[in-house]
Amino acid sequence: MGIISSINNRAKILYDPRYRHLFMQRRISGLPEREAAAEKFVAKLPRPEFVSDAADTAQRLDDDGYAMLPGLLTSDQVQEMRDYFASRLAFDGYRPHLGKFKAPADAPSGTHVANFDHSDVLNAPHALAIANNPTVLSAVGKALGAKPTISYMTAWWSIAHGEAARHAELFHRDVDDLRFIKLFIYLTDVDDGSGPHVFVKGTHKVNKLTEIRRLSEEEVTTEFGSQNVMKFTGPAGTAFLENTYGVHRGVPPTKTTRLLFQVLYSLAEYVGGPKKPVGRYRPQQDGVTLDPYVNRVYLRA
């Protein structure tokens, strides 16, 4: 690490202590070393709760690195969430100086991804209830070895374009925490032309290509086999859990725009989430119990 980078990182830690944990765990590149560090970390955390109907989901998540969640949302819930985000202003997270705009219609030229504010995501219909679904939390807790923290909820439009893939559109591993799982929900229909998510099956357990960088398709298929490259297409409402430490990418949409809702479950708080809670705690949403610990990043007592 260069002197400038070191100074910048120290400044970030002073501004936001969550960076300390982020930088610490990102320095651990080998999978065995990461697992050893995770075991020490989870020993200090609350134990997860487990429900029996999550067993199959938890097993698939452990074996393959992903697990489909059919029927997680009703078609009405999907429509309500899509309509809600269509009514909210978005921004280009890579170019925030461009200001807010109505996506996807008014996205500035060159915008690949249009994001939403924390409060808008939190207040989306059904967002908290979905993030706190007991089966989801149970399967995630099993993978983490601790009670999950909802550390980041986000939604974004992937804007159709004809430009070269960049950023998360290239193969990579996420390194958001020592252990973490993400929930993906398509809020629009997704086919080959609308930016399907791609995951390389089993790579969450393979100690190869673990350095933090973008990976070429040739590297990925040579190292892991093209038969393990899984492409997720499906109608609006398609939902799945994924260990995105495994190699993955979002294919750039070329024909139609995609809207996606995502939840990050981690051991520690994550810098992408709100620095302070943006909502007030309530015991339930849509009949789903909200655990104060699980929701502490977003909901204040």
Is the separation of the CB atoms in 114 and 246 below 8 Å? no
Six-digit token pair at 89? 């202003």
CA dist 114 and 92 (Å) reads 5
The answer to whether the bond into 104 is cis (omega within 30° of 0) is yes
Of 174, 192, 196, nearest to 247 (Cα)?
174
Tokens 């499906």, located at residue: 234
- How many residues are there in the chain? 301
Provide the residue ranges of all domains of the chain, joining segments of one domain with +.
Answer: 3-300
pTM of the predicted model as reported, rounded to 2 decimal places: 0.94
pLDDT in tens, the chain (301 residues): 554 455 566 667 767 889 999 999 999 989 999 999 999 999 999 999 999 999 999 999 999 999 999 999 999 999 999 999 999 999 998 899 999 999 999 999 989 899 999 999 999 999 999 999 999 999 999 999 999 999 999 999 999 876 655 667 899 999 999 999 999 999 999 999 999 999 999 999 999 999 999 999 999 999 999 999 999 999 999 999 999 999 999 988 999 999 999 999 999 999 999 999 999 999 998 899 999 999 999 999 8
For residue 48, whether the previous peptide bond is cis, meaning omega lies within 30 degrees of 0, is no
C-alpha dist (Å) from residue 145 to 206, 238, 286 = 19, 26, 27
Domain 3-300, architecture per CATH? Sandwich (2.60)
